[in-house]
Amino acid sequence: MNQRLGQVPIPAHRIASRLIQGRAVILDPDSEELQRLNEVGSLVWARITERTHDVEALVTAVSEAFEVEYGTAKQDLLAFLAELEDKGLLRYAE
CATH number at 24 reads 1.10.10
| pLDDT in the model for residue 94 | 81
User: Does a structural domain hold residue 61?
Assistant: yes
User: Does a structural domain hold residue 33?
Assistant: yes
pTM: 0.92
User: Does a structural domain hold residue 23?
Assistant: yes
Domains held by the chain: number: 1
For residue 56, the surrounding DSSP H or E stretch is helix 55-65
Domain range enclosing 15? 2-86
User: Does a structural domain hold residue 93?
Assistant: no
- Nearest one of 41, 49, 44, 42 to 20, comparing CA atoms: 42
Give the residue ranges of the chain where pLDDT is below 50: none
User: Does a structural domain hold residue 92?
Assistant: no
What are the φ/ψ torsions at residue 90 (nearest 5 degrees)? -140, 160
User: Does a structural domain hold residue 8?
Assistant: yes
Separation CA 72–CA 36 (nearest Å): 23
